[in-house]
């Protein structure tokens, strides 16, 4: 019993130092750290939009429509005289919430499918991967557009539509990662001790197959935020009063010849967010890659 | 090789059936009926019934699906609800436009992506390398429709150099293809750089250098030939994606392409058009990927050797696959 405890603590200790190693490598990468800082700032905006801007994003100042940047309105006002800065800050919450929720759902389903396919192989693998092929065969954005058009404009439909397009990527990444782990000696050892398939997958295979999945989360998040704004831009995204960057662009499109600034700011917000997640994901990929260890 | 291609084509069948099923059920189970959208509020109940009867909408789901697949195999994708034209005709009228846009965009991405990628790899960690890498990352992060709008503001509104929408003269094509092209150029550039970095560390590069070859020849002749293969694959995959994925850019520049057609169809629940459009896109993407893999084997002798067998054997193999059919 005592020996057992010692062993687990030794393993725990090693785990920690590996985590520290990854952190150290990540922190050396300046662009990745920049990405992380931007993400943290965005998260703060998303969590406290009311404190950091105006608590009500629907206030209309009809006398001040299309105003340029001023002390009262940092980024000017839109076609209804609503403060652009406030709407961009609240839009950050919309984008991040939908992005995170859809990635969460896609990750849960995709990782489950990928693990089952990779671990068991055979017919199950074949069937699951053909389903994934079908999802891969339709461009994400078209898939999203047709789902939202079919089921109606609402945030939950939007989350589902975006998530569906991501499942395939998660399943593929997980499957190939699981396959490399599946035949290792520690998995064999676990099987020899009588661990069930479920336990082996959950306790031994998945933790060791995790690195590429984590990277996929960040890239999917970046892609999803782009797709959400794309869907909103076509008028099939977030329903009207909720502020969203893509729908702000869509509203401003008709008047962009006269008020180009209306187009500039929401676009920069989208770009900066996606850019930060991409930088972060890239840094994470490098930090997690064992080949690049020193 | 032939066996490989045949197998790949056979594997396409279940995927395409699945795509049809996916889109079909989405359209079928969605609330709101096509006849209400198409016939308008004035239509009587009898008119609607006649419409449903005419388009086979009264049949159960499975029958409708099987009928659709049967017709699709004969090249009949149904009749568009709005224009009353065959869907296949509508799609193939639009396809050349989307194809041309994808081709031009791919050209941009090749020219920009490969050149910058090579320079970036040869001068690794130089200021130029760091700056272009950041720009490439930015390029992947820009929403294409926003980039399009910004380019319109700059080149059409402010400078009045290029037209903002339409597709008649060559000038109309510059902005849309550049918008999409820069986006894929960013991915091409990243792939080119990493692939080139790997190639210039190989032994044969050292050999070429020690023979006294100039740096330029070493890079363009020895390294590039080996480094270009994964980039080629990426360019092909990107091209396939563009056939279906440039819908929003088509909207921004009002280009009457396939994507625009499908999105219009989705809005009025024109089911045959949407199903047909997505099916054609999925088919085009899949064939594109197949073509890349075949080309890949053709270009790289190491891969080719895995498939090409002595001639007698190959003849036998193809004969058996004929029989299997």
| pLDDT reading at B99 higher than 60 | yes
The minimal CB distance from A279 to the residues B31, B137, B145 is found for: B137
Look at residues A279, A38, A291 and name the one whose alpha carbon lies nearest to residue B130.
A279
Q: Select from A130, A256, A222, A226 the least CA-distant residue to B143.
A: A226
Residue A228's closest CA among A208, A214, A242? A242
Question: Which of A12-26, A121-135, B72-86, B118-132 has the lowest average pLDDT?
Answer: A12-26
Q: What is the pLDDT of residues B223-273, one digit of tens each?
A: 888 888 888 888 888 888 888 768 888 888 888 888 888 888 887 777 788
**Contact status of A71 with chain B (Cβ, < 8 Å):** no
Does residue A293 carry a pLDDT above 80? no
Does B22 contact A138 at a Cβ distance shorter than 8 Å?
yes
Hey, is the C-beta of B12 within 8 angstroms of any chain A C-beta?
no
Using an 8 Å Cβ cutoff, are A98 and A273 in contact? no
pLDDT of residue B322: 45
Question: Which H helix or E strand runs over B307?
Answer: helix B301-307
Residue B315: count other Cβ atoms within 10 Å of its Cβ: 10
Burial code (b: 16+ CB inside 10 Å, e: under 16) for B103-128 equals: ebbbebbbebbbebbbbbbbeeeeee
Q: Would you say residue A4 has pLDDT above 70?
A: no
Query: pLDDT averaged over chain A?
Result: 83
Contact B18 A134 (CB under 8 A): yes
Distance CA B242, CA B263 (A): 15
Residue of B nearest to A269 (CA): B142
Measured between CB atoms, does B165 come within 8 Å of chain A? Answer: no
The most confident of A106-110, A146-150, B85-89, by mean pLDDT:
A106-110
Residue located via tokens 């995959």: B237
What pLDDT score was predicted for residue A13? Answer: 52
Chain A's closest residue to B241, CA to CA, is A139
B245–A141: do the CB atoms touch at under 8 Å? yes
Query: What does the pLDDT look like over A223-258, one tens digit per residue?
Result: 899 888 888 888 887 877 788 888 888 887 877 777
Average pLDDT over residues B157-170: 73
- Beta carbons within 10 angstroms of residue B3's beta carbon: 14
pLDDT at B290 over 50: yes
Q: Is the pLDDT of residue B310 over 50?
A: no
Pick from A140, A145, A150: CB nearest B30: A150
- A vs B, Cβ pairs < 8 A, gives 123
Helices (H), B77-202: 87-122, 127-141, 144-151, 170-199
Reply yes or no on whether the pLDDT at A66 is more than 60.
yes
| Confidence band for A100, pLDDT divided at 50, 70 and 90 | very high
Q: ipTM score here?
A: 0.80
For residue B262, count other CB atoms closer than 10 A to its CB: 28
The C-alpha of A291 sits at a distance from chain B's nearest C-alpha, in angstroms, of: 13
B287–A contact, CB cutoff 8 A: no
- Chain CA centroid to CA A219, Å: 7
Q: What is d(CA A157, CA B31) in angstroms, rounded to the nearest whole number?
A: 13
Closest approach of A15 to chain B, Cα-based (Å):
30
Read off the pLDDT band of A12 (50, 70, 90). Answer: low
Angle, helices A261-288 vs B144-151, to 10°: value is 140
Chain B residues in contact with A275 by the CB 8 A cut-off are 137-138, 141
B278 neighbourhood in chain A, CB within 8 Å: 138, 142, 146
pLDDT confidence of A116, banded at 50, 70, 90?
very high
Q: How far is CA B109 from the centre of its chain?
A: 14
Cβ-contact B308, B1 below 8 angstroms: yes
Q: What percentage of residues in chain B have a pLDDT greater than 90?
A: 2
Q: Which stretch of A118-122, B123-127, B187-191 has the lowest confidence by average pLDDT?
A: B123-127
The distance of B211 to chain A (nearest Cα, Å) reads 31
Compare CB distances from A137 to B19, B150, B248 and report the shortest one's residue: B19
pLDDT digits (tens, 9 = 90+) for A32-58: 888 899 999 999 988 887 777 777 777
Of residues B156 and A33, more confidence is placed in A33
**What are the pLDDT digits (tens) for B197-231?**
888 888 888 888 888 888 888 888 888 888 888 88
Identify the pLDDT of residue A250: 84
Give the closest-approach CA distance of A23 to chain B in angstroms.
22
Distance CA A68, CA A82 (A): 12
Q: Count the Cβ atoms, other than its own, within 10 Å of residue A144.
A: 28
């Amino acid at each position: 019993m005592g020996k057992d405890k010692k062993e687990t603590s030794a393993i725990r200790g090693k785990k920690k130092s590996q985590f520290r190693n990854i952190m150290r490598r990540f922190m050396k990468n300046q662009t990745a750290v920049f990405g992380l800082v931007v993400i943290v700032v965005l998260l703060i905006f998303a969590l406290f939009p009311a404190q950091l801007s105006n608590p009500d994003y629907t206030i209309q100042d009809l006398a001040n429509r299309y105003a340029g940047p001023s002390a009262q309105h940092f980024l000017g006002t839109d076609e209804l005289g609503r403060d652009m800065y406030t709407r961009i800050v609240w839009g950050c919450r919309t984008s991040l919430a939908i992005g995170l929720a859809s990635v969460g759902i896609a990750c849960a389903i995709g990782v489950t499918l990928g693990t089952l396919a990779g671990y068991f192989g055979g017919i199950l693998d074949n069937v699951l991967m053909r389903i994934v092929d079908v999802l891969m065969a339709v461009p994400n954005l078209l898939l999203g557009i047709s789902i939202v058009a079919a089921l109606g404009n609402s945030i939950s439909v939007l989350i589902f539509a975006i998530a569906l397009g991501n499942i395939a990527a998660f399943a593929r990444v997980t499957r190939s990662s699981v396959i490399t782990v599946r035949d290792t000696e520690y998995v064999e050892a676990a099987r020899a001790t009588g661990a069930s398939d479920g336990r082996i997958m959950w306790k031994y295979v998945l933790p060791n197959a995790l690195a590429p999945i984590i990277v996929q989360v960040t890239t999917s998040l970046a892609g999803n935020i782009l797709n959400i704004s794309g869907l909103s831009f076509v008028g099939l995204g977030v329903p009207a009063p909720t502020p969203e960057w893509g729908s702000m662009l869509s509203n401003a499109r008709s008047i962009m010849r006269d008020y180009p600034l209306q187009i500039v700011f929401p676009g920069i917000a989208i770009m900066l967010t996606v850019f930060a997640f991409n930088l972060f994901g890239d840094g994470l990929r490098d930090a997690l890659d064992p080949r690049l260890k020193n | 090789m032939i066996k490989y291609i045949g197998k790949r084509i056979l594997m396409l069948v279940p995927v395409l059936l699945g795509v049809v099923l996916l889109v079909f059920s989405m359209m079928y189970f969605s609330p709101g009926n096509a006849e209400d959208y198409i016939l308008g509020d004035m239509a009587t109940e009898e008119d609607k019934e006649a419409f449903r009867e005419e388009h086979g909408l009264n049949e159960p789901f499975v029958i409708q699906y099987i009928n659709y697949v049967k017709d699709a195999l004969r090249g009949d994708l149904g009749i568009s609800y709005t224009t009353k034209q065959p869907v296949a005709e509508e799609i193939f009228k639009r396809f050349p436009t989307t194809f041309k846009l994808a081709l031009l965009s791919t050209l941009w991405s090749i020219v920009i992506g490969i050149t910058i990628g090579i320079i970036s790899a040869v001068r690794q960690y130089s200021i130029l390398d760091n700056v272009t890498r950041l720009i490439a990352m930015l390029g992947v992060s820009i929403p294409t429709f926003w980039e399009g709008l910004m380019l319109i503001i700059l080149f059409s509104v402010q400078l009045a150099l290029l037209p903002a929408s339409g597709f008649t003269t060559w000038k109309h094509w510059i902005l849309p293809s550049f918008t999409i092209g820069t986006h894929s150029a960013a991915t091409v550039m990243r792939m080119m750089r990493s692939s080139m970095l790997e190639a210039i560390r190989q032994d044969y590069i050292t050999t070429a250098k020690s023979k006294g070859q100039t740096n330029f020849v070493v890079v363009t002749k020895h390294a590039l030939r080996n480094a270009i293969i994964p980039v080629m694959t990426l360019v092909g995959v990107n091209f396939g994606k563009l056939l279906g994925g440039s819908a929003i850019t088509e909207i921004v520049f009002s280009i009457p392409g396939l994507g625009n057609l499908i999105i219009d169809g989705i809005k009025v629940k024109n089911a045959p058009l949407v199903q047909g459009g997505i099916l054609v896109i999925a088919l085009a993407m899949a064939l594109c990927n197949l073509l890349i893999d075949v080309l890949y084997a053709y270009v790289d002798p190491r891969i080719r050797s895995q498939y090409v067998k002595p001639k007698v054997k190959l003849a036998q193999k193809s004969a058996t696959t004929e029989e299997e059919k």
